[in-house]
Structures are given as C-alpha cells and as structure tokens.
Amino acid sequence: MKNLLILFFFCLSLSATAQVANNNSKAGLQALLTPENSVLILIDHQPFQFAGLGSHNSQTIINNVVGLAKTAKAFGVPTLLTTVVEDLGGNLLKQLQDVFPEQKPLNRTWINAWEDPKVVDWVKKTGRKKVVIAALWSEICLAMPAIQAAGEGYDVYVVTDASGGTTLEAHEMAIHRMIQSGVTPITWGVFGGELQRDWARQKTVPAMNKIMVEHQGNVGTSWLWEQQLLNNTKQK
C-alpha cells in the first residue's frame, strides 16, 4: 500500500510539472519570437536622453537600436516609434527615423509609455501578446512600461543593448528589477536570430546579411571576407 501511495504521488508530481511546462510562456518553442507574434516599441531615443546616458557608449546604442529597427522592418514586425515631450527633449534620433520615414513618432507627456492609452491601443490593435521594448533610460522609460505590461498579461522582452541608463548601476538594477517582474532580457542580435530561425527562409536572408554588415562589427567584416575568399576561389 505504501509503495502504491508513493507511486501515485510521483505520477501526480510528474503530471503537475508537465502542466506547468505546458503553461509556461517563457519556455519551449512558444517562448521564441516570430514575425507573426511580436511587436516592437522604441521609446525616447532622443537627444536629451542621450545626453544623460552613462551606462553605454552613445554610438553603441545608436548602432544597436538602428540595427534593431532595421531587423523589425525586414521581417514586417509592427513597430511603434514614440517620444516624450519632444519640443523640449528633442526629436527622435534621425538614424532611427530614417528607417521608418513615413511614421510620425507618437509624442507623449506620460513618462511611463504604457500609461498612455494611445500606446496600449496600438499594441491591442495588432492582436499580438509578445512586446519587445528598447528605451532610454532603462531605469525609467524601459522599466516602467515593461513591468506594467508584464503585469497585464503580455510577454515582455527588453532589448538590453539597445537601451541604456544614466549610470551602469542604474541600467543593471533596472534589468534585475524587470527580470523579477517576469520580463525577459534579450540583445538586439538575438531578436533577428529568432525571427529568421531557419536559413532556408531565403526571403529575408539578403536583408539579414546587409544588417549584419552594417551593424554587427567583426561578424559583418568576417562575412565580407568570407565572400571575398569564395569569389577568389571561383576566379581561379
């Protein structure tokens, strides 16, 4: 009888574990981003915020957020550009605006973008539940909307290397806080990798290669070098 009870509770435990795994949106194939299940929100990449950036080199953030935006555009991921009191803080980063020249950034007064009904309505209209966010600064304009959206049932992914804080500690503490709230941190290169997923999806390969050359440093230069060597071999 004792052995039967042990076996019963063991099976019950396995069943419960499997159920948790099936319902865990942060594990398994369903946790990965696709062009069909995600949206991107780029928040407050403006001159005032860059002036106060202390956690990263400004050029690194510019390179990464523009690469992130180009990736979203290449895969057709709905992307929202938004600024805060831009008449005082400055217009959106020009290099970022140039990726979506037809889109006028949504200018807010809310520091927490998720408290602006226009932002939330935009997300709801897409019908998607995976929200990818990059922002300046991490401890304020990234953390607040990420934490709130996660609490409202969205799967939130923050792009840590396309965001930055006023200090390294402020940025790192913001990331820790968001993780504790159920937010998933990623880097901008991961975003493209998950969307591509299979090199047999050749439609987006040229755009991926172009972004890699323009924004991924030695990865891009190595790829160009490889092409050079292959071309030299063919010519011989």
- Positions annotated as catalytic residues are 141
Bridge partner residues of 108 (DSSP): 84
Neighbour order of strands in the sheet with 38-43: 106-108, 79-84, 38-43, 130-135, 155-159, 184-186
DSSP state of 132: E
Place of tokens 């972004």: 211
Name the CA dihedral angle for 228, 215, 58, 42, rounded to a multiple of 10 degrees.
170
The closest of 218, 223, 191, 160 to 68, measured between CA atoms, is 191
Place of tokens 């605006």: 97
Bridge partner residues of 114 (DSSP): none
Token reading at 222? 């190595």
Map residue 99 onto helix, strand or coil: coil
Q: In sequence order, what DSSP letters do the residues of 75-88 get, joined into one string?
A: HT--EEEEEESHHH
The residue count of the chain comes to 236
From CA 68, how far away is CA 159, in angstroms rounded?
9
Chain-centre distance of CA 149, in angstroms?
14
